[in-house]
Structure 1
Amino acid sequence: MMKPSLDDVLADWAAGVPARAEIARTVAALAAAAAEIAGLVADGPLAGALGAAVAENVQGEVQKELDRIADDRFLAAAAASPVAAFASEERDHPVVLDPRAPLLLAVDPLDGSSNIDTNVSIGTIFSILPAPPDFPALAAEAGAALEHGPFLQPGRGQLAAGYVIYGPQTALALTLRAGTMLFTLDRRSGTFRLTTPSVRVPERTHEFAINTANSRHWDDPIRVYVEDCLAGEEGPRGENFNMRWIASLVAECHRILVRGGVFLYPSDRRRGYHEGRLRLVYEANPISLLVEEAGGASTTGEVSILHVEPRHLHQRVPFIFGSKTEIERIEHHHADPHPHSERSPLFGRRGLFRA
């Protein structure tokens, strides 16, 4: 029996509810654009120099050719949808589309673009928000009014969120605020089909993901948590853990949605990292909604990501998410003014990463 298509699922969800129909139309347009991007990613070098550096984005990061292509495709999808304004990680300011439309769209067009040439999974992340009633007036002012206004909503106000991962399979993770679903792209028809109707993140896990190259810069709560995991059966946790690190947020999240785990990209003592590195509006909020709707949790280390009030459009934030019991443990470490644990040989006070 053929699995339901994304269009079928959206039509059932939106039936008879105009506000839902507007969200459904927007998600469908994003999915269609993602299917096009998936084709380019699958072609790799045959599609041209997709990993070639072409510019520098608003974040001061190298912008790749595929970043630019994806940004243009998703802007076009937004313009064909009931979207008042489009905000992209690749752009300085939001783009006003239809000031009287009911929705706002924030997109990271191509997460993990440093992996393009190495054939590692990359993706697209999106967040759909309600446009405020006064948006037409704000749009008339443009500039700073948009930069510091309508998109600065806490993540709990999102109407829908998701990501597309371009890997061995192209998959869409989607929440419409009633759980989290996984769809898989049928490459023969170009249609996303429902393959997991209700994702549940296991509450407990034996996997964690963090870049240990930064260990010497970590604050004590993170260092102590990782030491406890690395100490294994002989340590305070009394069990062994596996460490993962892909350097692609969508790939890390997909693994956690499928089999559990915890991802940590904390703030640290390096210059420019004291407030974290991942973007609140474009990355942390939509991923957090997906994970929490699947029974997981997310945090800055101290508060839920979805409760953070954004201060500016490209704000960065410490970002930790995954299995609920691990998130609770990490928050406990942050709440303890003097976190301590048994020291593992690798990260002990006189271990490989400490003099």
Structure 2
Amino acid sequence: MEHCRLGTSGLMVSRVIFGNWLTHGETIARPAATACVQAALDAGIDTFDTADVYAMGAAETLLGEALRGTTRSSVVIASKVCLPVGSGPNDRGLSRKHIMESCHGSLRRLGTDYIDLYQAHRFDEDTPLEETFQAFDDLIRQGKIRYVGVSEWTAEQLAAGLAASDGLRSRIVSNQPQYNMLWRVIEPEVVPVCAGAGIGQLVFQPLAQGVLSGKYRPGATAPAGSRAAAGGRAPTFIRRVLGAELLDRVQRLRPIADAAGVSMAQLAVAWTLQRPTVSAAIIGASRPEQVTENAAAAGVRLGADVLAEVDRVLGDLIDRDPTKTARMMAVEPSWAAADQSTG
């Protein structure tokens, strides 16, 4: 497993990160979750991403249990705060009150004394940025977090956050956006800001929720065990992107992967890792073999001809609209309106 610095910070992260959104505590049982974490460790993945809101805390609990017995200093644990975790007015956002309480809850569930990377899960329009970053700074001084990142912030929000954290220990070192071959909305605006500020991208959904793995075929029922056939909230998200035209284009990537000597999943992860400012790609999995396969993408180098062919095949289905940053749950991708006949 390759490692790299997170942006221009001193923190080293594995280039493939194991994340547990929509899996731990929601779609896979405890034994499978533990097996996936062990497979990640066996593959050299030492960076793990979760959040307080994932399965309403159960994901953090399961991750903490799965890592029990692992030397704490040998792994990097990232979590997040902001999205609602209760019905109260202070059970969300980036106020000092919620940040402090959420951090303590995450520490308790994870069974650790500190979180390596604590991320603002979304931007909070209702809280002054100075209050947010001072709270993060205080947590760093208390030894409860080590670094600060954000997730799905726009270029303007990132610039404002950098200004607010100037001179503090809580300066932003990472951004966690959705990013893959199809969804490239961060490229026009977010990537240049991050490049200029030394902010690394920890991108999620490099497989577009499994679509780019090629497992979903036009006109076919979603395969058993896939995210589209799972319980919980997973099918709600993935069925938006199972249009026949998109699935047909994805199948046309198969010869490209074959020629490169990789699986389609490895092609998608390797493509993501070669993009500017990307420090690491976050993978999710329900089976250990998926972790092993995706982790191998860290050592893959794709030639310029391969990258050009990917662009040619996907063509007009690639979405680069910067206004969709941070709204991937509410705004349909440009290609999601195609025939939804699958699954």
Q: Same fold (TM over 0.5)?
A: no
Q: Which has the higher strand share?
A: 1
Task: Report the structure number with the largest CA radius of gyration.
Answer: 1
Task: Calculate the TM-score normalised by the size of structure 2.
Answer: 0.28
Task: Calculate the TM-score normalised by the size of structure 1.
Answer: 0.27
Higher relative contact order (CA 8 A, sep 6+): 2
